[in-house]
Chain A
Amino acid sequence: MLKKSLRLVVMVLIIFGCSKSDENGDETNDNGDTYNRAILLTNMADNIIIPAYQDLNEKLATLVAVKNNFLTNTNQNNLEALRAAWFNAYETWQYVEMFNIGKAEEILYSFQMNVYPTNTTDITANIASGDYDLSSVNNNDAVGFPALDYMLYGIANDDASLLNLYANANHQNYLSDLVDQMQRLTNSVLEDWTNAYRATFISSTENTASSALNKFVNDFIFYYEKGLRANKIGIPAGVFSTMPLPDKVEGFYSKAHSKALISISIQAVQDLFNGKSYGSSATGESFKSYLQFLDRNDLALLINERLDAAKQNIQGLDNSLYNQVITDNSKMTETYDALQLAVVSFKVDMLQAFNISIDFVDADGD
């Protein structure tokens, strides 16, 4: 009896399957084929992630050279050159911060590169003692781009006295160590990508909490929500506190760069979403095309609309977000609201469409 029934089940399933597929056979159907997620990840790795790291690595190599030149020839011209090289690298960093995966995740790369506001007390203490471990967690807020921001702009009241400070061996060493460390870290992340991790990354397409695809999507959204929306706009605008906190802007000491940095970072987010190659206008498989495959072109369009709107808001801000908070903070909170709308699109709509296993929720469903 049982065996007979089993045979019947199989038969019914087959008949049901066949008849159904016949019915829909003629329909044009976008979902007919399976989506190749490896191609998406390959485009990310080869045309976006690795080129961005390579560019950053080159810019940091330049920064190292300019820094060395500055330390042997400490003058105003070389200071300007150093500042320019720092900012150049900082711009490129905006493309890289969201890739918190692989080696970058392992060594907490972004914590060693861009924690702000930087801790001037720690920096001062490190310089005074001359004895420090820059990779220590305790020094996360005393290294990286924000620490350089302080070292190149904020450490003295004017350029003349700043140049005087760098006659001091301890100051020279700290500046030098900061830059060298950033280059070393970046190089190690890049090397890992080009040697081993690329293959791991593009083949890890399964839908599990630990797969590269899922982590990459989660990291991307996390970066947009935290690194971009909250850190660059929300926190200085006082969105999470009772008072605005203008001195928490990115690039606080150099004053003029904070708007430029967020402008680049949101462009980086949009480029990644659209699968646009780093440094060229070519596009490939991306979150956008994946959404289109899932019949969610409406969402892909909406996300671009919302990012464009946020970019518009950002364009209307003062070059120094510090000044913007002080003079008219409402423009900052408006920008925050615009950025927030895209968080909703990413976190609610895009995650729902991808139906990605979320890394932090472990429980039964029903």
Chain B
Amino acid sequence: MKNTLTKYINTSTNAAPLAVFRIGFGLMMLYSIIRFWAKGWIETVYIQPKFHFKYYGFEWVKVWGDYTYGLFFISAVAAFCVALGFKYRIAIITFFLSFTYIELMEKTTYLNHYYFISILSFLLIFLPAEKRFSIDAYRSKKEYKKIPKWTIDSIKLLLFIVYFYAGLAKLNSDWLLRAMPLKIWLPSKYDLPLIGDALMHQNWFHYAMSWGGLFYDLFIPFLLIYRKTRAFAFVLVIVFHLFTRILFPIGMFPYVMIVSALIFFDAKIHLKIIKWIKFIIKMASIKTEVILVRNTYQYKRRKIILPIITIFFVLQLIVPFRYLLYPNELFWTEEGYRFSWRVMLMEKMGHTNFKIVDSDTKAFFYVKNEDFLTPFQEKQMSFQPDFILEYAHFLGDHFKQQGHKNVEVYAKSYVALNGRLSQPFINETVNLYAEKESFQPKNWILAFNDDIKGL
């Protein structure tokens, strides 16, 4: 056992796939940031709101006002440097920190694929992605042909977890037996050309898509790993992600996944890609100097890095299952829902109003959410308990500061999940201003009046 492990760790492989991955990742991140900027979202998501929702434990992360643009700029430059392989280690650390900081500034925008980018960039800090075909290599006049095999495998493992866990999360009765939420989402795509009228309202199509999506997520990592099915699997990856791109507003995620899946291929393809890029560079008549080619890159601090990577992956495997520690329906309370590759699993909407009560006189009034929240924030707040609690505290503080006495904050909340009738969500008799955020189960969430079976 120990022997096989040492042997595995010492196995080396061609460095080209990781170099191509670095370039693809860097360029896509650069484009993502430009896109986010161009759509004006830095303004509407980060700068305009008066109040920001924070992740538990990261309340200290602040939006930088107009300097937020600077933060995005730093992140974009870092992404470009990663692509170039220029000062790679500093660039990828900068990218990881700036991108993660951006995500931590506002919980409203949480997306699984932003989380994926954060942890992937963390992983990349420890990988020798600049050892081949990079400015760093040319500057140091040293290029490595081979790198340890586990470095590339670690990216494959991460992708494996993303897909496979997304598949496991679909093993529930709403997804499989009720075709929810696709049964709600697909009919609303009736205006798509060709397939809109013909398919989107068909009951069988909702089920076919649900089950197809499940099998795709569960099996695609295996099909990508196995050499004989790899090309077929890659075509599936393209078809699947482009199809989801047509159906749903999921931004850059499909492209990120398609490009990432290239890592599963043998070096042959990557060497070809490098050749193309070199050709283009030559066309621009930039000289690439002849450099010293070494054989295998060896880690200098392997004793520190390997344990870090191991802990990282153990956490990745465990964290999505933390929901088992909570007694109530996961989809309802969302305790342990995020950071678990639960992608497009729920159609959940809510309506939540807050009542400010003077505990002495019992006089009360309702808050107009639009006075404090953007429509996007209000939408996300209305069905997520941690948002509701955080906002209740913000309101309590706000009205206390305004001179209101004996402030208590109550929520009147209704939530509808996957096409069920909406039902009361938060216990109206609990003063949320007196409740504290923690990892404990939130006992002021009312029970879900239905049963969703499965993982």
Please tell me if the beta carbons of A302 and B421 are within 8 angstroms of each other in the complex: yes
Please tell me if the beta carbons of A344 and B351 are within 8 angstroms of each other in the complex: yes
Interface residues on B, range: 35 or more
Give A336-366 interface residues, CB cut-off 8 Å to B.
340, 343-345, 347-349, 351-358, 360-366
| Residues in B neighbouring A240, C-beta threshold 8 A | 365-368
Q: CA of A37 to CA of B187 in the docked complex: distance in angstroms? A: 12
| Residues in B neighbouring A355, C-beta threshold 8 A | 184-185, 187-188, 347
Contact pick for B415, options A20, A348, A357, CB 8 Å: A348
Please tell me if the beta carbons of A299 and B201 are within 8 angstroms of each other in the complex: no
Q: CA of A2 to CA of B239 in the docked complex: distance in angstroms? A: 13
Contact pick for A299, options B184, B349, B350, B421, CB 8 Å: B421
**B445 near A: Cβ within 8 Å?**
no
**A117 near B: Cβ within 8 Å?**
no
Please tell me if the beta carbons of B422 and A362 are within 8 angstroms of each other in the complex: no
Q: CA of A322 to CA of B2 in the docked complex: distance in angstroms? A: 84
Q: CA of A151 to CA of B113 in the docked complex: distance in angstroms? A: 61
**B235 near A: Cβ within 8 Å?**
yes
**B100 near A: Cβ within 8 Å?**
no
Tell me whether A361 and B44 are in contact in the complex, defined as CB-CB below 8 angstroms, given that A31-B201, A35-B201, A205-B191 are known contacts: no
Which residue of B is nearest A359, CB measured?
A: B375
| Residues in B neighbouring A358, C-beta threshold 8 A | 375, 379
The 8 A CB mask of B413-431 against A (1 = contact, 0 = none) is 0111001011000000000
**B112 near A: Cβ within 8 Å?**
yes
| Residues in A neighbouring B184, C-beta threshold 8 A | 352-353, 355
Q: CA of A206 to CA of B190 in the docked complex: distance in angstroms? A: 8
Tell me whether A348 and B204 are in contact in the complex, defined as CB-CB below 8 angstroms, given that A358-B379, A363-B376 are known contacts: no
The 8 A CB mask of A192-209 against B (1 = contact, 0 = none) is 000000000000011110
Please tell me if the beta carbons of B416 and A17 are within 8 angstroms of each other in the complex: no
Please tell me if the beta carbons of A6 and B366 are within 8 angstroms of each other in the complex: no
- Which residues of B come within 8 Å of A, CB atoms? 39, 41, 44-45, 109, 111-113, 184-185, 187-191, 197-198, 200-205, 207-208, 212, 231-232, 234-236, 239, 248-253, 343-344, 347, 349-351, 353, 363, 365-368, 375-376, 379, 412, 414-416, 419, 421-422
- Which residues of A come within 8 Å of B, CB atoms? 1-2, 5-6, 8-9, 16-17, 20-21, 23-24, 27, 29, 31-35, 37, 205-208, 234, 238-242, 294, 296, 298-299, 302, 340, 343-345, 347-349, 351-358, 360-366
Q: A1-B231, A365-B251 are in contact. List 4 more A-B contacts (CB 8 A).
A: A9-B232, A24-B203, A347-B349, A357-B188
The 8 tightest CB contacts between A and B, nearest first, are A364-B251, A355-B188, A5-B232, A206-B191, A360-B375, A366-B111, A344-B414, A24-B204
